[in-house]
Chain A
């Protein structure tokens, strides 16, 4: 697509740098978005895309120069950004479910007029215009409750337009959409050019990016590795190469020698309400099985199904060869030895206001009783002390509350809790999100140690280097389906290309060199091929 000259520059970033403790999320980033263009932003998980979105939308402040509409700006809040015409569509929906479509479209208007008289009909009538802009043929007096996710997304776009957005930032807008819905959305984004609205389009789906974007900027490790490229001149392989082309090989990238061990957990055609597609896989004792996929690819849903947090609708699950029916999370742990370290450690995994000791022993209170059946607090403290030392949880005292620990140390407590319980199978969901590099390494070591002790590990992670550094085998999830089973050679270049290939291939005609490991073939056939890194 060609731009109408002369192009007026709407956004201009120069030398934007954002450091978090221990991590440089953005390193000297330049970006230029012109009026009316659709600008793609791509990069792996962890490349700094969401930090960049946060900087652009006033959520985070950064060093460097930010020019918007020809004027140097210093955004102090998301509201500040919105007043200038910067709207972000997050991956999560932000609608008011009890309000009508029309009210949701004009929500910002409603929220800014505290003392005026509210007239529903007037709101509905005015919202019509914006619904038309996004091609939504809905009655403004309908509630948003029953809308499909595509329709809800369009309602949010209409809302963004209603505040005269000049820059629309779309974060993975098609992640939760069916193929045809995504196609419709792309067409609408395409039409926004006519409104002189600029769009920053963040997506993992390279076909979409190539199809709709005028220019593409690629981030890798917080740096811009390609600014304002013309996507029509780049093949998909070029884009992938630029995205993953790093010499950095993740820690401990040695292929673990696995004995031909027993299958610890085997799922056949397992499916439930949250994960409607049947899933089959095996994980052996001492094996680390990685589950990679985009957010929403169905990994957490499958894990919840296995541990009994969701009800199974069919298929079978075998633990150590015996068919089991897991009734609840407690049942999974107590009777089948399946533990689950949740991703949401703040909300689900830990009791933040309780002491470290109590958290560590939470899964095994019944075992900490003394001879006459009373709970023994000293045994609790003893166990916790042991784990504090072996996991190097940085706290002076296990009687401190968990809430006072840093994210990484919270995660260690979360893991320690399961170590005490001694599970046969441990599912670990996104163990290192938001954790600094040093602690990350410790957690990785811990996971490997657990596997060495014979625990079968399912590692769910969206961090590709982590996945390739840790897993023995990687299952790739897409749209709730396992689309590839890759034996991990721990060669980052090769593996990341294979994984990305499996993820972005929406078409079936591509003959990707997917290494399929048959279910019966022991993964121990992997040679010890140490690639010191």
Chain B
């Protein structure tokens, strides 16, 4: 009885697709690296490599923070603002209250998670779009951060904290290692945890999973909270690198936060993500930024280049997502007649 059914058509595996995206990203990164190393004397200097890797740790984290939300088919425009608020909370605790560094950092991450959980709750409970909610709360969080700090940076951070931003371990910046911990945690979470799989299932077909009793509210709270926590982590590391608590540290994060996951092969429609891809794309963005500085282009062109890359990546996303969309659109049948 299986004869007719066994002739399955060739099947595109998403992991294969990611592997291809990954390969492409490795190649481009390598080419860019070699080109810059050959043409620019200072590119291989210790100092430059340190800067590159420090920047990478931040870009990768904010990309991952957005990736989590995209995986559920939603977005988070408030991640920069939530990050700023997290960093501010941690700095304030360290400087004004004298809370030990690790505890203050934990409080910072929790602040980010709470900002996100609030977003997720509003989105899920009232059936609102994540676009409008996070657009609004971005303004709310920024307002709180600026009002609370009176728009003044918090100085006099404990050396134990600032050192995190400058120390290296076997030549690798400590911030990169701290960022890697978050990346690995996320990879394991989405591969091994029940909740991680549920988020991906929801992103792949929200209707089917809701029919099976998965609540949108739960998914929204989970992804936004994780996103907020990761954004908070990024803001803390960046603050340690800068050496003072700026109340708007996450101001320019929106563009790279989308660029990294999209270039890295996370489907905009949801349901599929790649931690490795996002990190490789973050490396690409970092190198491009560095290249612009080295060849003497005005740094303002960074935004132009990032924007261009996002458009290109969105185009690739479309081709990549086409197979999935086809499956869905062929399943879309017209609603039936009354009571039929």
Chain A residues with CB under 8 Å of chain B are 23, 25, 44-51, 77-79, 82, 91-99, 103, 107-108, 110-120, 135-138, 142-152, 154, 175-176, 180-181, 183-184, 187-188, 191, 222, 295-296, 300, 343-344, 430, 432-435, 461-463
Asked whether, in the complex, the Cβ of A146 is within 8 Å of the Cβ of B334, the reply is no
Instruction: Return chain A residues, CB-CB under 8 Å to B212.
Output: 79, 82, 107-108, 111
Asked whether, in the complex, the Cβ of A147 is within 8 Å of the Cβ of B198, the reply is no
A154 to B4, CA, bound (A): 12
Asked whether, in the complex, the Cβ of A180 is within 8 Å of the Cβ of B4, the reply is yes
In the complex formed, the residue of B with least CB distance to A59 is B211
Asked whether, in the complex, the Cβ of B10 is within 8 Å of the Cβ of A146, the reply is yes
Asked whether, in the complex, the Cβ of B201 is within 8 Å of the Cβ of A97, the reply is no
Query: A115-B195, A146-B9, A188-B1 known; A97 and B271 CB under 8 Å?
Result: yes
Query: A97-B328, A462-B340 known; A151 and B205 CB under 8 Å?
Result: no
A135 touches which of B1, B9, B200, B267 (Cβ 8 Å):
B1
Interface 9-residue window, one of B186-194, B240-248, B250-258: B186-194
Instruction: Return chain B residues, CB-CB under 8 Å to A154.
Output: 5
Asked whether, in the complex, the Cβ of A184 is within 8 Å of the Cβ of B198, the reply is no
Interface 9-residue window, one of B11-19, B24-32, B164-172, B226-234: B11-19
A120 to B333, CA, bound (A): 31
A117 to B212, CA, bound (A): 20
Q: A99-B201, A343-B335 known; 8 other A-B pairs, CB under 8 Å? A: A98-B203, A98-B267, A117-B194, A118-B194, A135-B1, A149-B330, A295-B340, A435-B338
In the complex formed, the residue of B with least CB distance to A47 is B339
Instruction: Return chain B residues, CB-CB under 8 Å to A118.
Output: 191-194, 196-197
Best-surrounded residue of B198, B205, B337 (most CB of chain A within 10 A): B337
Asked whether, in the complex, the Cβ of A145 is within 8 Å of the Cβ of B5, the reply is no
Asked whether, in the complex, the Cβ of A49 is within 8 Å of the Cβ of B340, the reply is yes
| A532 CB to nearest B CB, Å | 25
| B165 CB to nearest A CB, Å | 35
Asked whether, in the complex, the Cβ of B13 is within 8 Å of the Cβ of A143, the reply is yes
B332 touches which of A46, A92, A146, A434 (Cβ 8 Å):
A92
Best-surrounded residue of B10, B195, B200, B340 (most CB of chain A within 10 A): B340
Asked whether, in the complex, the Cβ of B204 is within 8 Å of the Cβ of A137, the reply is no
Best-surrounded residue of B12, B197, B209 (most CB of chain A within 10 A): B197
| A324 CB to nearest B CB, Å | 27
In the complex formed, the residue of A with least CB distance to B328 is A97
Residues 196-239 of B at the A interface (beta carbon under 8 Å): 196-198, 200-201, 203-205, 207-209, 211-214
Asked whether, in the complex, the Cβ of A96 is within 8 Å of the Cβ of B205, the reply is yes
A296 to B6, CA, bound (A): 25
Instruction: Return chain A residues, CB-CB under 8 Å to B200.
Output: 96, 98-99
Best-surrounded residue of A92, A113, A120, A183 (most CB of chain B within 10 A): A92
Asked whether, in the complex, the Cβ of B14 is within 8 Å of the Cβ of A143, the reply is yes
In the complex formed, the residue of B with least CB distance to A43 is B340
| A52 CB to nearest B CB, Å | 8
In the complex formed, the residue of B with least CB distance to A57 is B211
Asked whether, in the complex, the Cβ of B197 is within 8 Å of the Cβ of A110, the reply is yes
| B46 CB to nearest A CB, Å | 42
B181 CB within 8 Å of chain A: no
A-B pairs with the 9 shortest C-beta distances?
A98-B271, A94-B208, A93-B331, A96-B204, A45-B337, A45-B340, A79-B213, A146-B11, A462-B337
A353 to B161, CA, bound (A): 51
Asked whether, in the complex, the Cβ of B9 is within 8 Å of the Cβ of A148, the reply is yes
